Each structure stands twice: as structure tokens, then as C-alpha cells.
Structure 1
């Protein structure tokens, strides 16, 4: 999975979940002793009871505290005010190693906290052209008050001289799980109330799919609830995991992991069903299923051709659901002409497909028969749409599922979120806990707001925007003109890890006058700022969140675990003080502390629960806020009968006239007249094969090896890179690269060697892992390694830590979606023979 989503465009209530688990025992945060009484449900997963303790302050100095993170609800053990252990708050569940390193995130070996407000030296001294030294300068500590003045004065200058279209509010990324301390929303609230800003469209995770799917299905689809897992386990005969790696990605969630996805994956493994994994590599999921699944190796970037071979076989054999096509889809006849070759003279048959995707003709024909002859669920991943022409992959998969004809049936059809945030875990009856909003413009700034908010740039085009002010691009039928950005404000993200073609970003990033960053750590992005504010970790403040983006299974208190770093402040505090300095502090805070907001969010959900008569999994009513917060225990809700029986598109299948899709025809649009009118060369009116800009089968290769850069096993993108988990995977103190034994032998590379991976875009150092996990001609480097330039002032400098995005392409998927093409890249490799430079990714910059 790529780097996270545009929450402004996604309904946060579209989540779901499952019956389970018992409630926690009580841990009051009031001085004195307590006695806990455990409670458990009939589920095999039960809450861990905290140990008895006594406290002298509001913080637990010796005992257990319950909080939550993207990787799940956590029980954190504290001794002498320090974190000594963290684990899953519930027992009896699949192990998740991400949950064990909470202490590292506060003051661990690699943590590298920002300990005070810092300003880049030449920026502070107002040297001419100082922005060219961004990332290669030393730093100076300033007081918090001085930092507030510097930033507020600069924002006022830019607003008055250039207006809101000169301010970019980036902040794209997997921010804190908490609903209150949502860095992205807090930043946008500050910029919005101040008069407007330039924002982002879409996200890196599903940039192509979330634009094409509304044309095809009338919805984003990638962030929708899936057919309930229990129905898949009951009814599916064949389950295809296509381009996804749920064994790794189900360890995390956008809010907080509800732990159910991996449990269902175990049940699927032991179900006896036919399981097929389609992936260029032996992913963690392929290894998880072992002999219980068939692994089909596909050439990277060729999934569309593979699907076309299956579709052609079904079409010419007549083994497809003609009634479903006739009653539920639009424009199949035009697509059919393309498949058989009437449109371009090329039949997209199994032989043609095999020559591109590397899967045998026999296997392609076999799959056509297997898919149509059995109740088949295709669980599509997002990797194949993070490629050049990525719109085509999910569109083609929907066409394939339409021909199979099982969309809307229990256990049949397709789903694009089974690998993400535990999609398919049945939805509960829980009321949804809201969060802070982006607010409205203050009086006197409305004209700025209308101008600033009118400009939103596809997030994956941020480098292009910074580098080319005034340039126009096509986007989903509209024309967007890039503004000239003079001020970049980033909080809750790490673009120097998640954005493609790092060297091009580096040059563009040095164009604006000012870059301000909020962070807890000296990340690569913090090192590329002018002003940095040290921010508290989620374990140093109070918050609230829910478990399961689709399940809503728990309402989790996120109790402050330890005292904050001395000079660190929450994003809310920093923006409140900046708003005060800019003259709208009262509008920003509305006179509320963070705890006031948290109580307000909870009370709104509580009121809804009261009105609806909602009871929790233990049969009790939802407690009031004082009781909830004092008890320090997640609330557990049960799956509803509707959640357990949910079948995606069942209503549409039952009656497509009364329950039409949100497309112009009300049907699945295999042929889109809307897209046809856009007249784009790289995204036509129906899905088709386009040759990628770089791929293993191209005639004139710019490099030798296809690079795959999937989501890592032991990180959440770049998060947790600075924990002891790194000791589990680093090779020669670098990010690992997996190389097929035959390729390694040809290059004279052995296990543990330092390798230089390079192409025309950049160069990185990585540590060799010689393994048949990857086929010949393909190498794997996980995304998310912190960028660590050998000489930040030098163009095309070596990244010493192995950030894959130094090598990836920064081109749009197409003019339709402008998504990122991170998974389309060719690279070279060679054994590094010199003295390998020291890795400094986790060291502070000079002066800090």
C-alpha cells in the first residue's frame, strides 16, 4: 500500500466490524489505589486485565495504560514514568510485531526526537538565496515564542503580498490515529480560518482507482465495505488475492487496527478452498498460505494483459454470464470488439497475453474455466493501480468480475479493500465518533478562501506544481493551473520518503521562500525544512479513536502514557498559538482545550447511541464520558445482523432499476461516454492494455531489472523505521534488496554485500538478500526507508539508507487521475566496492 488517503473526500462512517472480545478492567487516573474486576465475553479474544497500582499524579507512573495506534489497541506498561512494554490490548489474536515497540517511539535507539524549536541558520539570518541550502545547512535553536513569531509573520507576509494560492498545506500522510490530534485537519483548519490555501486531491494509495471507479461504478470503491468475511468463508469456492499482500497490510488501519483481518486470513488458509495468489514475488501472504495456495508469478506491470487473456478465453468459448452483461453493464459490445481484435487488429488471446505477462497459455485458459465454474471472489490490491496507466487495472478487473457474473452474490464478485483496514469485518452497531473540522474562513478573508480553496492539486503532482508554476494539466475532464507556491506547511507526513523521484522533488522543494514542518523526529522531511516545531508523540497526549475503519468495533480512549518531552507541544497547541498571533485564536479553539473537544466528540456519539437504543457487546448501554474516561477501557460493540449478512452490490443485483449505481447509465460502465468526451490518449472510453513507460518486456530497456517496491512487513510506510524493528531487517545497516540467486551470481553479489542500485533518476545503497522470493529479472526494495543523502548539496547524490523512491518515476498514471506511478521502474544493480559511507538517516542534522 502506498502512503495514505484524502480524508476530506471520504465518508469516515464507511467502516465495519465483528462481534468479539471482552471489556477492560478499570484503571482510574486519580491518585490512590484501585481494584480491577475483569470482564470477558464469549469470544476467544479477551482483554488483558491491568495490574494493580497506586498513583500520585494524573499519569500512571507504575502500571498499565490503554491507548491505540494504527497497529491496534495497546496495553502499555509503565515503570517509574517510563514505558517498559507494549502489547495488543486483547489476547488470543494473531501476533502483530508492530505493537511491541511503543517505547522506541518515545525515546528509543533510533528515535531521534526533535528536542526544541529549530530554525535553519541561513534562513534565520535572512541570507539571500538561503533556500538553496535547504537540507544542507546547520540549525539554530530558538524559543517557542520566537518560532511562533517567525512563522506567523511569514504567513502574514505571504497572504498580504501573494494571497492564499501561494500557500501549500501539504500534510499528506498517516498522521496520528486520534480524532483530536489529526495533524492534517488541524493544519488545514489553521490555514482555512486564516483565509485559504492550496490543498491536495486524492492520495498516493489509490490515486488512479479512486478517480476511475466513480466512472465505472459510481463510487470510490477502494474505501468501501466489502462483502462480509463470514459470507466469503461460507460461500466462496475460489478466492483470488490479486496484487495484494494482506498478511502484512492487515497489521495496520487508518484509524486503529481491529485485529480481525488476520484472524479471517487464518480461517481462509484453513478453509480448504482453492486460493490463488497473483504476485510477482513470494510475498508474506504467499508464504503465509504456503502449500494451501497456488502462487502465479506475473511480470510486473502486466496484470491488465493477463486479465485480457482470461477475458478473451471466456468470450470466445462462450463461458461467461451473458445475462449479467446484458442487464447490469453498459457498452460491452465496443469492449468486445477490442478484445477480439476488430478495433486494432490484435486479438487479446491467451497466447498474446502470455507473451506479455509471463503466465502460460494453459494457465490463462484454466483460470477462465475455474473462475466461471466456481463461486469466485477476487480480492484486488492497490499495487497494480500505482503504475503507469494504473486506471486500467481496476477497471479491467471489474469487467472480468462482470463476465464471471457473480457480483452481488454471497462470496462472489470482487473487492478492493480486503487487504486494507480489515475490510469485510462485519459492521457493528457502534455510533461513529467524529473529529475536529477544517472550519470556515474568518470575516475579511472570505475572498482569499474562495481563491485558495478553488485550487487543489493531485497530491502526486506536488513536485510538478512546485517546479512549474503556471503550468496547466488535464485532470478528470478539467483543466488545473498550477499556482506559484511561496510557503509550504507540512504536518503529519513525510514526503521525502513517500513521494517519487526524490532528486526531482529535492530541486523543486528548494524553490519556495519558506518551508515549515511539524514532527516528532528528525525525519528526512524535517531536515528539509526552514522551521521545525517539536511535536508530542501520541503517547504524550490524550485522544480518542475507533477500531476498524469499516467495523467500528471499538471506541478507544487514547490515554496519555508518559510526560511529554520538555519542549514538545501538540499540533493543536502550536496552531492555536499561531492562530492567536494571526488574529483568529478564538475562532480556532472556540475556547476549548483538547480534552473539551474529545469529550464533545464522545458525547455526540453517546447521544446518537442513546437515541438509537444501542447496547454494547456485553449488553450494557454506552457509558457517559466521565465513566468512559475514568474506566480507561475500550468499548466493544457487536456486529449487527445486517453487518454479518452484508453483500456488496446485492441491492443492485436484485433490482438494477430501483437500485441503480451512481454512473450516468446506472449500470457498470464498461464503456464510459463521459471519459470518451475527455479525449485522453492515455485513458480511453473502455479499459485496455497500454505499454508502461518502463517495464521488463520493453524493447529498449533503460535499465536491466524491474523494481517492485511494496509496503514493508515491519513498518507502516516510513513510520516505525526508527524503532528496534529495524534490527530485524536491515542488511549492512541499509534497507535490504532481494535479488534472485541467478542474477546475484551473474553480478558477483552475495548475501550481506552492499549493493548500489541506480538508474537515470538516482542511486541508493542497499544490503543484498539473495533469495528466490523474486524471479529472475526482478528485484524488491520495500518503500518507506528514510532518505539519507550522502551530500545534500550535490545533485543525484547517493542515498545511504536505500530509499526506493530515489529510483521511482514521478509521472502521472494518466491525464484522467494523475495518480502516482511508483510501481513502474527499471533499475540497475552492482556490488558496491568502495568503503560504504556511514548511514546517518537517524542522526540529527548539524546544530541540532
Structure 2
């Protein structure tokens, strides 16, 4: 096999990081740009014909008739069908679209009533002029800045905003707030928060957002593939930029490869259904993955089937972990029998797995569900430790990967040039810039927002330092839906009523828009022009995102709103740089075009990369070819080849099974080496607070809460509610039948769901997908019933540990009963009164 150039490996490694990390902004290198705006490009709409665009769920070909979208499909032929791609028209004017059609303000907020904050989510709304909305918002921002400084403003915008590089609502918000004097931002994300903080201590990298050993290498060399806590057949329907669909194609090849495939998951997911008899399903008790790994490792240790040489040469601290494994100090050897009693997998099976993994080239493809739980730092750390004991890290087809299920990780990288993007800019005021430099704390862990709002001035521990919560008086949220994705909704509601003002940009009357004070009506991605790239790690294609239809008369682009706010605040010229939408897009494209010109990079078909005018006129994606280096990429091959010349980014330069850095932090919730730590709620606890374990994974037919308001809902809703999957024996015991309305509840809240009786869930476990729009029965009452089945009404708002402060949405127990009351009317997709 061709030896990969070291510089190329490094490029692949770090290109993967910055292409895929949701919370890292891409800074524009203006020295490589051509002058923008020298050419003029038609932006006339296609009235009858085809338009190419893109979304998180892929490149789309839209058929337009008389100015309306009548068909939406994948822009490429012969790919695995992706049902998310066929409902674009519903997002414009579908039956449940509930577009925000004008700037709106809550009545009691507008009237400045003293108790107006208590009416958030329960007030009627008043339409105002766009100019008045701009003045209200700009005046309020100025007031808060004057009274509280940058620490008084929270720039939310956590979420899967538009795919486009220009109409990136989060970056546009942060650019406005940064130039205006700073703001409180977020640390980490909800997706992989625990893993992305622990992995740099263990491996020196984020790991969860990086390129994986390439699929061609896996298909050629791996003998055993373990899909652990992941459901790629659902999650690969989307990507942070725009999916290139390649991941799904590789899993099809894996199915037919004849390899030993294991799926470790509490639920029989769509991925397990996809593999049929080609994979073995091992159903594990939720929240117990670390215990299973320990049982496997103890078996390896006592049978001497582990790689001592790898541990000695490439890892740090195994001797301490070994004592724990053998129970030298706690008198509890982590035997297969011990693990079996916790994880529910037979002792003999655990021993069998230990032998199988060591004696065969094994690739662990791990998901993120198991780190979205209490002590979520432990599972990924433990899996790295297990891989180190096996000793195949850095070998072709061996080791682990934490991104095969996300954004097509493992699809071979191309040498494609990268298009540019708008930056968040810098603080314009010298006085405020000095305040920031003097140490004002301007970021909190994103999953701690409710705790922060409720406890201003509280100090928390985070990854070796302390953070004092700021006193936030204004929330500005764009491109996200926290009243769906944040855990423990009822606590969030209380917290959300603390600030004086909440401003939201949205396309639809989402639960978050309904909880605002002022909303701006925003255009859909199909009502504006943009650009994006596909394949977060591969950079396979550049997609045009041409405007397909006219915008609603009173809707605005986020850029237009922030331009006018910047004008009202005195820095319009700096914000816009005097460039229009198309000038920005030309500049972004030319960043890539100039790279291609300098380096001689061509398209996959051998042709030169077209200039922007030609690209935009052609209205087609352009695709680059994977390089030999990309196809042969082996993660950690350079480290294995020479750990001295190619050390990891850890203090020791090795894989840190024992971290002296974490030891110094002295965190009770995250000790210095990976361990089994009992979660706050789980099936095996002595006095469980409820009867059933709730599993709330990523939905099959949505992107979190996106697409909830399309006809896709008709394919999964049960009795017009979000479904709950219940084991047949449990359903019988509760007198519940298919299609019944079920009340799911615990001490945190209550929801209505529709019953699906199925053996895909084991006894004592239920599944409710996350992402259903919160729909309160009586928004004026505390802990009111959610009529639409938002799982986060039931989840816990506690941190994973002091290290990462990540969310633990997959640690929760609930009760269920057949609902016997009058079934309330669903209003999740109905605009509020006055709108």
C-alpha cells in the first residue's frame, strides 16, 4: 500500500477538524480573493424549469412550475433514497408550515407591562412595521450594553441553521454582536459535548469531528466491524454542511462484504433492521456501555489476550487502570460476570467478544448517544482504552472511529479547494475591546444555559477552570430551537422568563419563536442565494444554492436584519463591507477558485474548475475526485509508525489512559482514568424513581426538529402524536394497545404520545425520538402537559460532570399509562393568537 505523505496526513487531519466542527467559525483569508463585484450575474428566478440547491439532507434538484416548487429530489442519480429530500415544497407553504409572515411583538411586552415576562409563551402577538422592530431591538441592545456590558447579552443560535456559507444565521448574529461590543457565547455543543472535551485529554484532538480511517481501507482490511451506540442509516441522511450521501453507500457495501458485523444498541434501530441477518444485534441495558467494555477488558487481561507492547510503547498510565480492572483497591474485579449483571449481556457472550476482538482486525464505529448521558466522558475514554488493549490503533482497518455515523466520516477526502465564509469580525470599540481583554468571561457551556439564567453569579467548574455565570438580560436567538433540543423543558421555561428581552429570528412559529418577545420573519434557504460544500470531511462537491422562489413579502434575510441593526448602532459599513449577497458569494467562491488556479486542482471529470460566472450560470454542483492519499488514509498510522516523531497532542505525547491533568482537577464526577460510575437514573439502580428507561435518539424522518412541519409527519405520527415504542409485554401489563394515546411522565414533566407496540425495544425500555415540537396544553400553568410528545420535557438538566458540563438527555426514567382524559387538540403547528 502506498505510504502516505506526512504533510498530507496532517492536512487531512486538520481539514477534517475545521470542515466539520459546528462551533468553529471559518475565517476568510482575504489575501487569496479576487476583487468582488466586477461582474454582474443574473438573479432572475426560474418560473418554469429546474433549480439546483442544497440542504443538510443533500444536493437537491427542484422542479418549478409557475413560480412554485412542485417536486424535490436528489440532484444525483443512483444513490440510496433519502426521504428527507422530497418535501421541500412543504417548507414553503405546506399545510403545517406556519410561516412567520411579518415582524411581531408580544402585546404585553410592547405595552411595557411590569409582569410581561411571565406571559412569554402565553401572550397574544401584535404585528409591527419592520422599521419599528429594528428600533425596538437596537434600543434594547443599547440599553443592555450600557447597563450590563457584553455579559448582559447571550448570543444563542445553537442549532442546525441553513447549510449556506453566507446566510449562516449564527455567524451573522455573532458578527453583529461582536462588532457591537461582545456577547456571551457557548462552549461545546449538545451533540458530542462530553466526548469533545475528554478526547483532547486522551488523544490530543477533538476526535468526534475528524476524518476517519477511509472506508476503502475498512472494507479491505477489517474482519470485524462493531457499530456501537450508533444508527448511521438514519443519521447519515444529514450533514453539518450538506450530505454527499457517500456514507450510506459505504454501509451498503459493508452489508455485502461478508465481514462479522456487530451492532451494540439497546434498541433494534433502523441500521440493525437494514443489515437483516448480516449483523448480530447485542441489546445492552441503556447507560451501561462502560461496564461492558470493562468486562471485555478484564477477560482479555486474565486470558493474556491483549497487546502488552502497544500499551507500553503508545499509552500512558495503564498500570493504574490495570489495578482498577482487577479490583485491587475497591475489591471489585471488573469480571465478565460483574459486567453482565450491570449491562444485561450474558457472561459467556462478553468473554466471546474479548476473544473475537483480539484475534481479528476489529474496527469500532462508535456513536455519540452513549456520551449524552450522566458521566458521558467515560464511554469514549473507555473505548479508546479497549482499543489500546487490542493494540490495533493505527493499523489498516483497526482501532476506533467516532464519526462514521456523522457527516459521512470515512468517505475518502479530495484535494478540493475550500470556499470561503463570512467571519465574526472584531470588536470595534476600543473601550469595549479593552474590557474583553481584561478578562470578562464571555462563554458558558451551551447545555448550562438554563442553569446560568436561573443562577447569575454562580461559579461552576469546567475543564480545569472556573466560570462565573453572567447576569444575562437579553437573549438573541437565531437558527436554533432550544425549546425542543434543550433538556428538562419546564426548567428552561422558568429560566427563559428571567431576562428582560428575548429576540428571535425564525422562518416558522416554532416553540422557541412562541417564547420570544420580538420575532423577525426570515426567508427559507429556497428564497435566497448561497453556496455550500458537501462531505464535511471529504469536501467532495461545491453546491450552488440558487434562489428557487419569491420570498414572502415581509420576510427578510438574516443579513438584511443585522445590516439594519448595525446601521442603527453605527457600524453598518464595517458589518457589510459594502458588499451585496452576490458579491459575498463571488468572493467565497473565488477563495476556492484561486486555490485551484494556483495548485492545478481539477474536477473529477478532468476539467478545470469554472469561474464563478460560469459556475452560477451552469447551475450544477461541481465535484472533485478523492485522492489516493484520501483513499488510503489510516487514522493514527503516523503515530503508530513513530510515536516519538509523531506524538499526540497530549502532555505525554501518548494515549493517556491515566491523565495527570485531570487528576489535578480533582473532579468527583470525572476521575483520572476511565471508570464505571453509576448514573443518577438507570435501570439497575436500587430505588428507581420510575419504571421505564427512556431512550431518545435522533429521529428517522427529521433533522432534530426540522421537517416536523412537513408531510413526513404523516409517516410516523400515531393518532396525531409523536410515537412511543413499547415492548409487547410491558404494553400488556399497562393495558396499552397500538394507536392508544399514552401519558408519559416523571417528576420533571408529562407528555402525550401515540403507542407503537414492538419488540424492537426490550422490556423496561421505551423509545421516544427527540425533536418533537413542544406544545403546552396550558402555557400559563407550570409543568403543563405537552400535547405533542417532546421527549425533553422528561429529560434531566444536569451536567455530564464538572469536566465537560455536557447534556445527559439519554439518562432518564419515566412512567407510562394509557391516557383516559379528553384528548386535547394539537396546536404545535398553529400560530399564536394575533399572528
Normalized against structure 2, the TM-score is what?
Answer: 0.95
- Look up the match of 1:38: none
- Look up the match of 1:469: 456
- Does residue 575 (structure 1) correspond to residue 590 (structure 2)? The answer is no
C-alpha separation between the residues in 2 aligned to 1:457 and 1:222? Answer: 20
Change (3 A) 1:328 1:10: farther
C-alpha separation between the residues in 2 aligned to 1:641 and 1:474? Answer: 45
Q: Do the aligned partners of 1:5 and 1:206 also contact (CA within 8 Å) in 2? A: no
C-alpha separation between the residues in 2 aligned to 1:342 and 1:11? Answer: 49
- Superposition deviation, residue 434 in structure 1: 1.9
C-alpha separation between the residues in 2 aligned to 1:309 and 1:199? Answer: 41
- Look up the match of 1:232: 218
C-alpha separation between the residues in 2 aligned to 1:453 and 1:547? Answer: 37
Q: Do the aligned partners of 1:751 and 1:770 also contact (CA within 8 Å) in 2? A: yes
C-alpha separation between the residues in 2 aligned to 1:776 and 1:146? Answer: 57
Residues 533-548 of structure 1 mapped to structure 2, 5 A cutoff: 533-548=520-535
C-alpha separation between the residues in 2 aligned to 1:562 and 1:213? Answer: 44
Q: Do the aligned partners of 2:199 and 2:207 also contact (CA within 8 Å) in 1? A: yes
Matching residue within 702, 713, 720 for 2:689: 702
- Look up the match of 2:367: 381
- Look up the match of 1:489: 476
- Look up the match of 2:12: none
Cα deviation digits, residues 601-657 of structure 1 (max 9, x gap): 111111111111101101011111111111111111000011000000000000000
Residues 749-788 of structure 1 mapped to structure 2, 5 A cutoff: 749-788=736-775
- Does residue 244 (structure 1) correspond to residue 259 (structure 2)? The answer is no
C-alpha separation between the residues in 2 aligned to 1:810 and 1:297? Answer: 27
Deviates more, 1:349-358 or 1:4-13: 4-13
- Look up the match of 1:632: 619
- Superposition deviation, residue 430 in structure 1: 0.5
- Secondary structure (helix, strand or coil) at the match of 1:737 reads strand
- Look up the match of 1:439: 425
Residues 179-328 of structure 1 mapped to structure 2, 5 A cutoff: 179-328=165-314
C-alpha separation between the residues in 1 aligned to 2:650 and 2:51? Answer: 48
- Does residue 7 (structure 1) correspond to residue 22 (structure 2)? The answer is yes
- Does residue 142 (structure 1) correspond to residue 157 (structure 2)? The answer is no
Q: Do the aligned partners of 1:427 and 1:640 also contact (CA within 8 Å) in 2? A: yes
- Does residue 426 (structure 1) correspond to residue 412 (structure 2)? The answer is yes
- Superposition deviation, residue 418 in structure 1: 0.1
Residues 497-576 of structure 1 mapped to structure 2, 5 A cutoff: 497-576=484-563
Q: Do the aligned partners of 1:6 and 1:201 also contact (CA within 8 Å) in 2? A: no
C-alpha separation between the residues in 2 aligned to 1:843 and 1:545? Answer: 32
C-alpha separation between the residues in 1 aligned to 2:623 and 2:128? Answer: 46
- Look up the match of 1:409: 395
Cα deviation digits, residues 286-305 of structure 1 (max 9, x gap): 10001100000000000000
- Does residue 684 (structure 1) correspond to residue 671 (structure 2)? The answer is yes
C-alpha separation between the residues in 1 aligned to 2:373 and 2:26? Answer: 26
Matching residue within 322, 338, 341 for 1:352: 338
C-alpha separation between the residues in 1 aligned to 2:719 and 2:200? Answer: 46
- Secondary structure (helix, strand or coil) at the match of 1:732 reads coil
- Superposition deviation, residue 5 in structure 1: 8.8
- Look up the match of 2:780: 793
C-alpha separation between the residues in 2 aligned to 1:603 and 1:401? Answer: 43
C-alpha separation between the residues in 2 aligned to 1:450 and 1:734? Answer: 50
Change (3 A) 1:792 1:632: same
C-alpha separation between the residues in 2 aligned to 1:471 and 1:449? Answer: 20
Residues 563-642 of structure 1 mapped to structure 2, 5 A cutoff: 563-642=550-629
- Secondary structure (helix, strand or coil) at the match of 2:711 reads coil
C-alpha separation between the residues in 2 aligned to 1:369 and 1:523? Answer: 51
C-alpha separation between the residues in 2 aligned to 1:396 and 1:599? Answer: 47
- Look up the match of 1:809: 796
C-alpha separation between the residues in 2 aligned to 1:89 and 1:816? Answer: 43
C-alpha separation between the residues in 2 aligned to 1:60 and 1:10? Answer: 33
Matching residue within 47, 58, 65 for 2:51: 65
Cα deviation digits, residues 156-195 of structure 1 (max 9, x gap): 0111111110000000000000000001100000000000
Please identify runs of 4+ aligned residues in structure 1 that moved more than 6 A. Answer: 10-13
C-alpha separation between the residues in 1 aligned to 2:607 and 2:829? Answer: 48
- Secondary structure (helix, strand or coil) at the match of 2:192 reads coil
C-alpha separation between the residues in 2 aligned to 1:328 and 1:239? Answer: 23
Cα deviation digits, residues 86-134 of structure 1 (max 9, x gap): 0000010000000000000111111100000000000000011211111
- Secondary structure (helix, strand or coil) at the match of 1:773 reads coil
- Superposition deviation, residue 10 in structure 1: 7.2
- Superposition deviation, residue 452 in structure 1: 8.5
Change (3 A) 1:462 1:185: same
Q: Do the aligned partners of 1:542 and 1:560 also contact (CA within 8 Å) in 2? A: yes
Q: Do the aligned partners of 2:693 and 2:814 also contact (CA within 8 Å) in 1? A: yes
Residues 66-145 of structure 1 mapped to structure 2, 5 A cutoff: 66-145=52-131
In structure 1, runs of 5+ residues without a counterpart are 14-27, 31-56
Cα deviation digits, residues 26-74 of structure 1 (max 9, x gap): xx986xxxxxxxxxxxxxxxxxxxxxxxxxx810000000000000000
C-alpha separation between the residues in 2 aligned to 1:449 and 1:582? Answer: 19
- Secondary structure (helix, strand or coil) at the match of 1:810 reads coil
C-alpha separation between the residues in 2 aligned to 1:222 and 1:791? Answer: 40
- Does residue 161 (structure 1) correspond to residue 176 (structure 2)? The answer is no
- Secondary structure (helix, strand or coil) at the match of 2:89 reads helix
Cα deviation digits, residues 687-706 of structure 1 (max 9, x gap): 00000000000000100000
- Secondary structure (helix, strand or coil) at the match of 1:722 reads coil
- Superposition deviation, residue 451 in structure 1: 6.4
Cα deviation digits, residues 504-545 of structure 1 (max 9, x gap): 000000000000000000000000000000000000000000
- Secondary structure (helix, strand or coil) at the match of 1:165 reads helix
Normalized against structure 1, the TM-score is what?
Answer: 0.94
- Secondary structure (helix, strand or coil) at the match of 2:142 reads helix
C-alpha separation between the residues in 2 aligned to 1:6 and 1:746? Answer: 45
- Look up the match of 2:34: none
Q: Do the aligned partners of 1:765 and 1:798 also contact (CA within 8 Å) in 2? A: yes
RMSD: 1.3
State the number of aligned residues.
805
- Does residue 711 (structure 1) correspond to residue 726 (structure 2)? The answer is no
C-alpha separation between the residues in 1 aligned to 2:25 and 2:471? Answer: 28
- Superposition deviation, residue 446 in structure 1: 1.7
- Superposition deviation, residue 443 in structure 1: 2.8
- Look up the match of 2:36: none
Q: Do the aligned partners of 2:25 and 2:171 also contact (CA within 8 Å) in 1? A: no
Q: Do the aligned partners of 1:165 and 1:452 also contact (CA within 8 Å) in 2? A: no
Q: Do the aligned partners of 1:208 and 1:386 also contact (CA within 8 Å) in 2? A: yes
C-alpha separation between the residues in 2 aligned to 1:233 and 1:552? Answer: 21
In structure 2, runs of 5+ residues without a counterpart are 1-18, 29-39
C-alpha separation between the residues in 1 aligned to 2:604 and 2:800? Answer: 45
Cα deviation digits, residues 208-244 of structure 1 (max 9, x gap): 0000000000000000000000110111000000000
C-alpha separation between the residues in 1 aligned to 2:373 and 2:22? Answer: 22
Cα deviation digits, residues 406-442 of structure 1 (max 9, x gap): 1001111000000000000000011011210000011
C-alpha separation between the residues in 2 aligned to 1:564 and 1:700? Answer: 56
Change (3 A) 1:5 1:448: farther
Cα deviation digits, residues 769-806 of structure 1 (max 9, x gap): 00001000000000000000001110000000000000
- Superposition deviation, residue 455 in structure 1: 2.0
- Look up the match of 1:54: none
Q: Do the aligned partners of 2:109 and 2:116 also contact (CA within 8 Å) in 1? A: yes
